[in-house]
Amino acid sequence: MGITGMIYMVKMVFSLIVLILSSSTAKYDYFKFTQQYQHAVCNSNPTPCNDPPDKLFTVHGL
């Protein structure tokens, strides 16, 4: 595993620790599922970006 892999692993472990520690204190009434187009979808096509296919959505947040 190279330095990039190690940095990625440290970030993932840190994120997991923060998620575990904060999950017991956070109280939510509802979740909101949000999607957005990838920026590359509109930049890769020579035609205007009016309505990209559904497969090009990414999950922005939950």
User: What is the predicted pLDDT for the residue at 50?
Assistant: 62
CA 12, distance to chain mean position in Å, is 13
User: What is the predicted pLDDT for the residue at 21?
Assistant: 77
Q: What is the pTM of this model?
A: 0.37
The phi, psi pair for 24, rounded to 5°, reads: -80, -20
Question: Which contiguous run of DSSP H or E holds residue 4?
Answer: helix 3-23
User: What is the predicted pLDDT for the residue at 46?
Assistant: 67
Residue 55 per-residue DSSP state: G
User: What is the predicted pLDDT for the residue at 39?
Assistant: 60
| Of residues 62, 7, 56, the one with CA closest to residue 36 | 56
Residue with tokens 């999607």: 35
Q: Which residues of the chain have pLDDT under 50?
A: none
User: What is the predicted pLDDT for the residue at 37?
Assistant: 60
